[in-house]
Chain A
Amino acid sequence: MCSQVNVKVRHLTRIEGHGDLLVRVKDGRLEEARWDVVETPRFFEVMFKGKDFRSVPLLAARICGICSISHCLTALGATENAFRLEIPKTATKVRLLAKHGETLQSHLLHLFFLAMPDFLGLPSALPLLETRPEAIKIAVRLKGLANRLCNAAAGRTTHPVSLRVGGVTVMPRSDELLNLRGELENSLDDLSATVDLVKSFELPEFARETEFVSLKGEDGYSFIGDRLVSTDGVECDAAQYIEVANEYVDANNTSKWTRLSRGSYAVGALARFNNNHEFLHPEARRVAREMNLDPVCHNPFMCNVAQLVECIHCTHEAMHLIDELTATPPDELAAPVETKAGRGIGAVEAPRGILFHDYEYNNEGRIVRANCVVPTTQNNANIHRDLSSLVTHFVKQGISDEALELKCSMLVRSYDPCLSCSVH
Chain B
Amino acid sequence: MKYLGIDARRPKIAVFDFTGCQGCELQLANKEETLEAFLNCVDVTCFREISSASGEGFTIAIVDGAISREDEVRRIRRIRDQAQVLVALGSCACFGGVNRLKNSFDLDRANREVYGDQPKPTLPVRAINEVVAVDMEIPGCPVSKAEVERIVQHLVWELPYRFPAYPVCLECKQHGTVCVFEMGELCLGPITRAGCDAPCPDAGQGCWGCRGPAQDPNFEEFLAAAVGKGHREEAIAERLKLFGGFRGISCVRR
Contact = CB atoms under 8 A, between A and B. Distances in A.
A46 B113 CA distance: 8
Contacts of A15: 49
Contact of A59 (B25, B35, B118, B242): B242
Interface residues of A, number: 56
Given A13-B51, A156-B199, A162-B203, A129 B110 contact: no
A140 interface: yes
B122 to A, nearest CB: 6
B48 A55 contact: no
Interface string A129-145: 10000001000110110
Contacts of A46: 102, 105, 110, 113-114
A403 interface: no
Contacts, number: 151
A141 B32 contact: yes
A129 B36 contact: yes
B50 A114 contact: yes
B101 interface: yes
A183 interface: no
Interface in A43-71: 43, 45-47, 49, 51-52, 55, 58-59, 62-66, 68
B102 A251 contact: no
A95 interface: no
A59 B33 contact: no
B22 A40 contact: no
A404 interface: no
Nearest to A169: B204
A113 B50 contact: yes
Residue with the highest number of chain A CB atoms closer than 10 Å, among B24, B97, B101, B116: B101
Contacts of B19: 40, 42
B68 A13 contact: no
Contact of A62 (B98, B203, B238): B98
A156 B47 CA distance: 24
Interface in B204-229: 204-205, 208
A58 B49 CA distance: 24
A284 to B, nearest CB: 24
Contact of B97 (A40, A62, A158, A162): A62
A22 interface: no
A41 interface: yes
Contacts of B6: none
Interface in A13-43: 13-18, 40-43
A399 interface: no
A17 B114 CA distance: 19
Given A123-B53, A158-B27, A162-B204, A45 B113 contact: yes
Nearest to A16: B22
Given A59-B242, A65-B142, A42 B68 contact: yes
A291 B105 CA distance: 51
A124 B53 contact: yes
Contacts of A251: 118
B110 to A, nearest CB: 4
A55 B102 contact: no
Contacts of A147: 30, 32
A291 B158 CA distance: 51
Interface of A: 11, 13-18, 40-43, 45-47, 49, 51-52, 55, 58-59, 62-66, 68, 109, 113-114, 117, 123-126, 129, 136, 140-141, 143-144, 147, 155-159, 161-162, 164, 169-170, 249, 251, 254, 420-421
Interface of B: 17-27, 29-30, 32-33, 35-36, 39, 44, 47-53, 68-69, 72, 97-99, 101-102, 105, 110-111, 113-116, 118, 120, 122, 141-142, 199-200, 202-205, 208, 235, 238-239, 242
24 contacts: A15-B49, A41-B120, A41-B122, A42-B20, A42-B68, A42-B99, A43-B105, A43-B114, A45-B113, A45-B114, A46-B113, A65-B24, A65-B25, A65-B26, A123-B53, A124-B53, A125-B50, A126-B39, A136-B36, A141-B32, A155-B202, A156-B199, A157-B30, A420-B21
